[in-house]
Amino acid sequence: MPLSLFDWTHLAALTAMLLAAMGHDTASRRIPNTVVLWGGLTALGLSLSPHGVGWGSSLAGGMVGLLGFGVLYLLRTVGAGDVKLATATGLFVGHPDMLWVNLLILLAGGVLSIIWALFSGQLRQTLHNLSTGLTQLWLSRPHGPRFERTAFPVSTTRMPYALAIGAGTAVHALQRWPLS
């Protein structure tokens, strides 16, 4: 089925927001609030059109992005800009599709983080941190923490997570709007 004018508009607005965020995040490790704000407002406007996902679906999708990545923010695995970008993406995608998009983003983040660690020379340290973190999680599960948690070393070569948000969303968009 060919894309309608609305689909092209929707896809172009989502793509513009994600590309702007990915560019800024890659260059400065920050996602400007203006990019996310304008993207979110555009998504809400598009959701109200007759072919849109609907106001309720848009808001629910935004909440799925906010809650899913808000938990990761509390665990200090993503930044606040990543949470806001996932929320704005959810406003575009809507519910229940954002549940699937969150999973795709997490999968893309895992793959990209391994590639990023490999190319930045941090793979050994990353795998050590992962092993230590999983061990601590496993040992603290039955009756709470039994030992003092150690702080993980944080590298200055952190991966811009907007790349994972863009990649996961792109996989979803290609499934929803195939190019053939």
Query: What pLDDT, in 10s, does the model give residues 76-93?
Result: 889 999 999 999 999 999
Say if CB 47 and CB 57 are below 8 A apart: yes
**Confidence (pLDDT) at 130:** 75
Per-residue confidence at 135, pLDDT binned at 50, 70, 90? Answer: confident
What's the whole-number average pLDDT of the chain?
Answer: 87
CB 73 within 8 Å of CB 80: yes
Residue position matching structure tokens 């996989």: 171
Pick the residue with more confidence: 180 or 100? 100
**pLDDT of res. 146:** 52
pLDDT value at residue 180: 58
Cβ proximity of 18 and 162 under 8 Å: yes
Classify 105 in phi/psi space as left (phi over 0), alpha (psi -120 to 50) or beta.
alpha
